[in-house]
């Protein structure tokens, strides 16, 4: 594919102004909604093929979230598009101030393999709602879903409006050489740096949805049984291949033994005592990641799990204790079903450990103490998170989802997706009269009047 020509064709189509009217935008969203309803089974089968996701988990974490985003966009798009009235400053009178949204133009959406449908289509909804053209580039690792996304765009849109590019690193590199008006990237911090570097050549603005080691703090006041249940759900969803999955647990030393035991009970309750034979338990995306995770398992004492099935690329939910802060499993985002558990004596000690590391994408706190809750939220910077739960903070169209520092920049979901893919231009409309002479030269004798007015 000639990517330079593809981008040029999209730029020409954007220049016709066809993507900007409300009627055009809402029609595209409605078409997408109908396609998803008609092809629901095909989406579930693609996710099963790529990641071994059972239908329930695939629907819950991919289709349901995208359908929610679509409903929210279709319901509120007309209001989002309206110019916003702004307060008129004294020096601007007589006149009115308004802020107008406008699409950036030709956008690039690069998505990962772990939630390949949701993390492609959710930002696409934002791009379409805002009136942009878009090139989507799904991951080659999730080949079945990428092929489905290619079919979806081909059936719904002309390529000069929305196009899907399949392929791997070569296609990624070729696309990043093109001049886009906005780039939305979801993936690892390492690749995020490359995207930002390439975007800088054209001064292209970016959103970077990255990852990191998202901690869980369990203090001595926490409901241990509830904490274990919710940590287990968030951690082993998609076999731990979730950007906001709990990466490691910091638990008060008096509660460590009880938490480990409660987690073991929850693993058995959710995935049975033979999780590798459980059809509801997903697989690792490819052999390289499977071998990486198998190596990280040597970083501590296996308190539970540790079983491997190379043929199906499944790794049992695994708890690691006696983990050292310098061990390999604590040096990189795990992105798999291994959960290190590290005790702490004082809350200050736990917070210091978190603050010494790059700012995480998510943080989860389990406590009954309002003072502890207030302190953690005040003293620790992170993208988003939960108190007494995990992962669910992103399952809404009413709050932005995104990272901070090395875990990303920019946010999306709901109106925030529309705003991410929009430029907001401020416009002052002045009346012809009166035309006060105070601002015009000559300035002699006007300083006193100016200070009084201001």
Residue of 160, 209, 333, 419 marked catalytic: 209
Tokens 């970083």, located at residue: 299
**CA-based R_g, the chain, Å:** 25
User: Which tokens belong to 6?
Assistant: 């593809």
**Cα 128 to Cα 31: distance, rounded to the nearest angstrom:** 12
Residue of 243, 333, 406, 419 marked catalytic: 243
**65, 395 Cβ separation under 8 angstroms:** yes
**Cα 284 to Cα 119: distance, rounded to the nearest angstrom:** 18
CB atoms within 10 A of CB 140: 15
370-379 and 347-355 are packed helices; what angle lies between their axes, rounded to 10 degrees? 20
User: Which tokens belong to 64?
Assistant: 């349901």
User: Which tokens belong to 330?
Assistant: 């604590």
Measured between alpha carbons, how far apart are the two ends of the chain, in Å? 59
Task: Give Cβ neighbours of residue 66 (< 8 Å, ≥ 6 apart).
Answer: 36, 117, 118, 121, 122, 125
**Cα 38 to Cα 42: distance, rounded to the nearest angstrom:** 9
CA angle 215–192–165, rounded 5-degree value: 120
**Cα 82 to Cα 418: distance, rounded to the nearest angstrom:** 12
**Cα 62 to Cα 241: distance, rounded to the nearest angstrom:** 13
**Cα 307 to Cα 330: distance, rounded to the nearest angstrom:** 21
- Quick check: is 243 catalytic? yes
- Quick check: is 379 catalytic? no
**184, 108 Cβ separation under 8 angstroms:** yes
Backbone angles phi and psi of 38, in degrees to 5 = -75, -25
Output DSSP code: residue 210.
-
**Cα 65 to Cα 107: distance, rounded to the nearest angstrom:** 22
What is the rounded (10 degree) CA torsion for 179, 184, 190, 193?
A: 50
Burial class (CB in 10 A: 0-12, 13-18, 19+), 445: exposed
**107, 136 Cβ separation under 8 angstroms:** no
**Cα 118 to Cα 138: distance, rounded to the nearest angstrom:** 11
Burial class (CB in 10 A: 0-12, 13-18, 19+), 16: exposed
As annotated, the active-site residues are 209, 243
């Amino acid at each position: 594919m000639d990517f330079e020509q593809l981008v040029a064709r999209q730029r020409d189509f954007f220049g016709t102004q066809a993507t900007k009217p409300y009627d055009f935008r809402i029609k595209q969203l409605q078409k997408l909604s109908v396609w998803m309803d008609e092809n629901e089974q095909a989406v579930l089968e693609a996710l099963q093929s790529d990641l071994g996701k059972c239908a329930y988990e695939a629907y819950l974490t991919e289709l349901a979230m995208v359908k929610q985003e679509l409903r929210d966009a279709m319901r509120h798009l007309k209001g989002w598009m309206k110019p916003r009235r702004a307060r008129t400053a004294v020096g601007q009178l007589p006149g009115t101030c308004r802020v107008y949204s406008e699409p950036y133009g030709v956008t690039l959406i690069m998505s990962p393999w772990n939630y390949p449908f949701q993390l492609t289509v959710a930002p696409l909804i934002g791009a379409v709602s805002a009136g942009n053209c878009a090139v989507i580039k799904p991951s080659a690792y999730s080949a079945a879903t990428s092929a489905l996304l290619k079919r979806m765009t081909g059936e719904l849109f002309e390529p000069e409006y929305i196009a899907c590019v399949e392929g791997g690193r070569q296609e990624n590199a070729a696309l990043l050489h093109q001049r886009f008006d906005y780039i939305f990237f979801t993936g690892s911090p390492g690749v995020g740096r490359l995207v930002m570097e390439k975007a800088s050549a054209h001064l292209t603005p970016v959103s970077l949805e990255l990852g990191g080691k998202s901690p869980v703090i369990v203090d001595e006041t926490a409901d241990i049984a509830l904490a274990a249940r919710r940590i287990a759900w968030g951690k082993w969803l998609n076999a731990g291949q979730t950007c906001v999955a709990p990466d490691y647990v910091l638990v008060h030393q008096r509660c460590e033994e009880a938490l480990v035991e409660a987690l073991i009970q929850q693993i058995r309750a959710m995935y049975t005592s033979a999780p590798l034979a459980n059809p509801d338990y997903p697989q690792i995306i490819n052999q390289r990641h499977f071998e990486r995770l198998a190596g990280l398992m040597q970083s501590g004492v296996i308190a539970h799990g540790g079983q491997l099935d190379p043929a199906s690329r499944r790794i049992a939910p695994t708890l690691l204790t006696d983990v050292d802060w310098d061990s390999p499993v604590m040096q990189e985002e795990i992105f798999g079903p291994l959960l290190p558990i590290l005790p702490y004596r004082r809350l200050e000690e736990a917070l210091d450990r978190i603050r010494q590391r790059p700012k995480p994408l998510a943080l989860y706190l389990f406590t009954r103490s309002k003072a502890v809750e207030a302190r953690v939220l005040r003293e620790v910077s992170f993208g988003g998170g939960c108190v007494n739960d995990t992962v669910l903070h992103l399952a809404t169209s009413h709050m932005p989802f995104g990272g901070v520092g090395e875990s990303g920049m920019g946010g999306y979901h709901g109106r925030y997706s529309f705003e991410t893919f929009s430029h907001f231009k401020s416009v002052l409309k002045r009346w012809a009269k009166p035309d006060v002479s105070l601002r015009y030269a000559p300035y002699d004798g006007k300083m006193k009047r100016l200070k009084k007015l201001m």
